[in-house]
Every structure is written in C-alpha cells, then in structure tokens.
Amino acid sequence: MMTQHKSERTTKDLVRAAVSGWLGTALEFMDFQLYSLGAALVFHEIFFPEQSAAMALILAMGTYGAGYIARIIGAFIFGKMGDRVGRKKVLFITITMMGICTTLIGVLPTYGQIGIFAPVLLVTLRIVQGLGAGAEISGAGTMLAEYAPKGKRGIISSLVAMGTNCGTLSATAIWAVMFFALDREALIAWGWRVPFLASVVVMIFAIWLRLNLKESPVFEKVSEKEGVAAVATAVEDSSLGAMFRSKSFWLATGLRFGQAGNSGLIQTFLAGYLVQTLLFDKGIPTDALMISSIIGFLTIPLLGWLSDKYGRRLPYILLNISAIILAWPMLAMIVDKSYSAGTIMTSMIVIHNVAVLGLFALENITMAEIFGSRNRFTRMAIAKEAGGLVAVGFGPVLAGIFCNMTGSWWPIVAMIICYSLIGLLSAVLMPEVRDRDLSLPQDAAEKCQVNQVSVVAHQEY
C-alpha cells in the first residue's frame, strides 16, 4: 500500500512535469534555432570572415555539427545516470549546462577581436552545450511519457514536441526582429548577441521548475518493485553491446534519422542556401519558419491525438511517404525566384510541417514506448543523438559541399528523400507500441527473449 501511494501523482504533478518538459525542450530548440540561423546568416562574417562565402557557410555549419558530436557522449553519460539515479536529477543538470552555454555565446569575442581563438571558443561552448542537450529532450520525453495516462500519452507528449516549436518560433522571431530593427553594420557589431543573451530568462524559469519537480512514477515503481534483483540484469542490459544488438534501438535510430535529417536540411541549411547562394531576402526563410512554427501548434497536437487513436505506426508511415512525394515540387518552388514570396514561403511551410514537425510530434512518445524501463533513458537518448549526429550534425555540411560541387539544389531534394525513406522503412518494421506498459523492463521488439531473463531475475529475488 505504501509503495502504491508513493508512486501516485496528482494532476498538478502531471502539469508541472508537462511544463518542465516543454520549457526544457523549448530552451534546447531555442538554442538550436538561434545557432542554426546565426550560423546560416551572420556567423560566417563574425567568426570566419577571411573565407569565401561558400566556405564560410560550410565552416559555420561545421561548428554547428561539433555540438552534435558532443551530444552523443552526453546522451550516454547522462542517459545512464538517468536510468540509475532517476530522471529528475539529470534533467536539472542538463538544463543548467545548456542554458549557461547558450547565454555565454552572446558574450564571445569575435574573430576581429581575438582571431582564431574566437571560433575555438565557439566550438568549445557548443561541445559543452551539446553534452547537456544530448540527454535533455530524451529525459523530458521519458519523464512525461512515464507521467501520462494510457490513451492520452500521444496528445500529452506532444507538449514536449510543442516545446521545440516554441523554441524555434521564439528564436526565429528574435532574429526576424533583429533583421528588421537593425542595419547590417549594427547586426554584425552587436545585434547578433541579443538573441543568445535573451535566452537567460527561459533558463532561470526552467531551472526553478525542475527544482520543484517530482520523480517519474514509473521509475519509482520499478525501482521499488524490482529492487536489488534488477541490478545484475540491468548491468548486462545497459552495455553498449546489448544496445547495439537490440532491434528496437536500430528502429528508433532510423525513425530519428529520418526526422532529424529533414530538420537539419530545411531549418538550417536551406535558410542559409537561399540567402547566401541564391541571394534571397533574409526575411523569406525566417518568416516562413516563424509562420510554420505557429501552424505547428495545430499540427503537433493533432498528430499526437491521431497517434492515440490510430497507433504510432500509421501516422509515421503516411508522413514519410508524404515527405518523399512533396520533396521535389516543394523545393522546386522554394528555390525559383519567378514565384512570389508568398508561394515560396507556403512551400517551405508545407514541407517543414510534414517532414519535420509532423514526425517530431510522434517521436518522443513512440521512442519512449519502444524501450523498456531499465534502459529507456539511455537508449532513447543514444538513439536520438546517433541519428542526429549523422543526419543533422553532418547533413548540412554535406549538403553545402554537394550543392557547391554541382551548382544545383538537387542534392537537397535527394537527401530529403533518402532521410524519409529511412524513416519509412523503420516505421514499417517497428511493432505497434501505443499504450504499452512502460514499467516492463524489456524493449518492445525483444519482448519474448528479454522477458525470460526478467522472470528468472524476479524469481531469484
């Protein structure tokens, strides 16, 4: 009776967990979009001014990718910590690391002030920031999934996904205001610092909220129920070898790869390509992403609700097929100056909502349900960051190289199709995991095999 009572959570606790996850994810993606737009639009002049326009853009994207290399290390370190000591402590650490580094980018000296040390400091902050970010969204997704009741996990977990929308919208809006209010000289001199310094407000509130957050009820329940008996099995299950042998891990990584790859291309590289290579007005990509983020406040919860009603697989499959079909016609209109600005922006909004926001609305809850309770945080974090490292960390750099080599936008289309095909294949092969019991120790695709080990461990206990 005492165990049951301790694991219970009130509606107030659920709301606090939801807001905490939303704020943490908002801060992560605020940084994501602040840096990605900064790298695409101004960092090439501030930190790499002696390079050609094309090479400076590639180098700026490279510093962006450095953070993703660190993220996978952070996912492993903090993911393991989250599975062993709890979700709450890790989420406090990650939000603090991310917030401080984002703010410090705003006070960095420029290349003109200290030379090569400026980009070195930038990369250093991106690495430290990446260590925390590597476990932030997985931890928030894990926490909220373990709080949410069955039948409503998709719609409730969409709040974490909407955090990405809020972060993207806030960052894009701040950059849009900077471009509107300041001339080019003022923007390069000091205006670029304002978006990063402004993030401190979100950081302070998020840290305060996390200090008052209760531990995940599923983590508490499993820890109390299995006790010492689970430790020996968990050590074996948490090894990298066991993770790499897990079919669930590779399916989750494939789902992430498809969504993250499209995100890196559309939200990061395409914005810079339109402005730096095709010489579009800077307001076109920033306004399009801002409007798309607003529309996402409808798209994301709708997909969450549909996944509660029809399962996780079907929406994943339909969205990836749609992204494949839309890639060429949407990009053809986006890069063609003969179309009106409204048509170009509409095309960018459509492909962004389908290939990025729609998929992300499903990602957190699907991955949380795929993995078992013992290693959910670790495997979810590593699957996310492994997919992100390759797709987002290196994707924009490769897109820049391929577009520069071919003198064409066709590599962007080819890469969106490839990413979406990987996501589609993963969705087709994955088991349906809607409303799966999150206290089960085994991963969904390894249920029968791992469950035998769990039964033996329980009997010994």
Sequential pLDDT tens for the chain (461 residues)? 344 445 566 778 888 888 888 888 888 778 777 877 777 677 777 876 666 666 666 666 666 666 777 888 899 999 999 998 888 889 889 888 888 888 898 898 888 888 878 878 888 888 888 888 888 888 888 988 998 889 999 999 888 788 877 887 788 788 888 878 888 788 888 888 888 888 888 888 888 888 888 888 888 888 776 654 444 444 446 678 888 889 999 999 999 999 999 988 998 788 888 887 887 887 888 788 888 888 999 999 999 999 999 999 999 999 999 999 999 999 999 988 888 989 999 999 999 999 999 999 999 999 999 999 889 999 999 998 888 777 877 788 888 889 889 888 999 999 999 999 999 999 999 999 999 999 898 899 875 444 444 433 343 33
> Measured in Å, how far apart are the chain's first and last C-alpha atoms?
20
Nearest to 258 by CA among 427, 107, 394, 50: 427
249: amino acid identity, one letter: F
Nearest 5°: phi and psi at 62? -65, -40
Nearest to 442 by CA among 382, 373, 384: 373
| Residue ranges of domains in the chain | 11-460
Class of domain 11-460: mainly alpha
Alpha-carbon distance 147 to 137, whole Å? 15
- Residue 380's alpha-carbon distances to 22, 243, 386, in angstroms, are 18, 11, 10
Contact assessment for residue 42 and residue 195, using Cβ atoms and an 8 Å cutoff: no
Contact assessment for residue 363 and residue 335, using Cβ atoms and an 8 Å cutoff: no
Could you tell me the sign of the dihedral formed by the alpha carbons of 169, 174, 177, 179, in that order?
Answer: negative
pLDDT at residue 169 in the model = 77
315: amino acid identity, one letter: P
Nearest to 136 by CA among 388, 334, 345: 388
- Which residues, including other chains, have CB under 8 Å from residue 225's CB and lie 6 or more apart? 3, 439
Nearest to 419 by CA among 282, 263, 258, 200: 258
Could you tell me the sign of the dihedral formed by the alpha carbons of 277, 281, 283, 288, in that order?
Answer: negative
| DSSP secondary structure, 88-118, as one string | HHHHHHHHHHHHHHHHHHTTPPPHHHHTTHH
Alpha-carbon distance 166 to 317, whole Å? 26
Residue with tokens 């301790």: 6
pLDDT at residue 227 in the model = 55
pLDDT at residue 175 in the model = 81
Q: Where are the alpha helices (DSSP H) in 270-357?
A: 270-272, 283-310, 313-334, 341-352
Joined together, the tokens standing for residue 459 give 């009997």
Alpha-carbon distance 422 to 209, whole Å? 37
- Residue 450's alpha-carbon distances to 74, 169, 230, 372, 454, in angstroms, are 27, 42, 13, 10, 6
